[in-house]
């Protein structure tokens, strides 16, 4: 299949490479020329703009940081809608506000373009492995049409409802992940202060009810003080801000989400916004005077 892929960041780059490995012809665009060159070396064909990438493809995928970036790449000057052919499908795999997805979909529909919102979970490691969890909103028939392609980037792809439902589901995911990471950091800081080895605690609890994918992935990073980003604090702040905005629109209180968002904002202010979200351990080190890692 001919695919226009727009956005080659931490997540988009490995996702595009997995599609190339699956045999698709990719026309790739990003404002970062080094990222384009990197994917070009793997077989991608560089495009000069989002419109150019879309004009050469039957399926268009966007993977960008936030709502304004997607709007610019799709609706703006030299955006995907300028080049997209009527009947093609746009799959936005960015994590953005559900209302933004609905706004973009209306503009796509006016030009005969079908759109799905399909954010992902799993971070860079799962993007590299091609085992992302993909949450999809939009037309069910369009979803079934592109599902085989999605499963070349992910281990699962679930249709969650109308346009925007994918991003609503992602907000739920990001709330649960953020609060889980904060709980791990809080508990392991307590163990360090109590004189109990966090590594032994990890081995003792990971097979029980407290065990989780988050615990398995993030506890070792905290114990090693390794905060190389798989998913950055600043991006998680963005997701929690979208969750809070959506919650205010529908009247659903999110007190725990608001608290963890402020913890992340503290880390951003301290210069750690580009760290992995497991760096919530740094917040607890700041307020407790004790690091989890040795």
> Catalytic positions, please?
170
Q: Is the dihedral of CA 98, 102, 104, 105 positive or negative?
A: positive
Q: Quick one: CA torsion of 97, 113, 50, 8, rounded to 10 degrees?
A: 50
Cβ atoms of 135 and 161 closer than 8 Å: no
Pairing of strands 132-138, 89-92: unpaired
């Amino acid at each position: 299949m001919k695919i226009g892929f727009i956005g080659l960041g931490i997540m988009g780059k490995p996702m595009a490479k997995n599609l190339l490995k699956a045999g698709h012809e990719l026309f790739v665009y990003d404002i970062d020329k080094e990222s384009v060159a990197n994917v070009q070396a793997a077989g991608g064909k560089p495009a000069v703009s989002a419109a150019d990438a879309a004009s050469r493809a039957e399926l268009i995928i966007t993977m960008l940081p936030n709502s304004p970036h997607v709007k610019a790449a799709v609706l703006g000057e030299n955006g995907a809608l300028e080049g997209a052919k009527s009947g093609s499908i746009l799959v936005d795999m960015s994590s953005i506000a559900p209302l933004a997805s609905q706004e973009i979909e209306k503009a796509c529909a006016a030009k005969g373009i079908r759109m799905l919102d399909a954010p992902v979970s799993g971070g860079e490691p799962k993007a590299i492995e091609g085992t992302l969890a993909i949450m999809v909103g939009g037309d069910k028939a369009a979803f079934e049409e592109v599902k085989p392609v999605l499963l070349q980037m992910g281990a699962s792809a679930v249709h969650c409802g109308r346009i925007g439902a994918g991003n609503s589901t992602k907000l739920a995911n990001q709330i649960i992940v953020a609060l889980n990471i904060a709980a791990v950091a809080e508990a392991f800081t307590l163990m360090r202060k109590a004189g109990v080895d966090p590594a032994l605690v990890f081995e003792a609890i990971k097979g029980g009810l407290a065990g989780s994918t988050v615990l398995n992935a993030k506890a070792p990073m905290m114990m090693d003080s390794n905060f190389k980003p798989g998913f950055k604090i600043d991006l998680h702040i963005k997701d929690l801000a979208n969750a809070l905005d959506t919650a205010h629109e529908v009247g659903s209180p999110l007190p725990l989400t608001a608290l963890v968002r402020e913890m992340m904002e503290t880390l951003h202010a301290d210069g750690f916004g580009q760290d992995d979200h497991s760096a919530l351990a740094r917040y607890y080190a700041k307020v407790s005077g004790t690091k989890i890692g040795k």
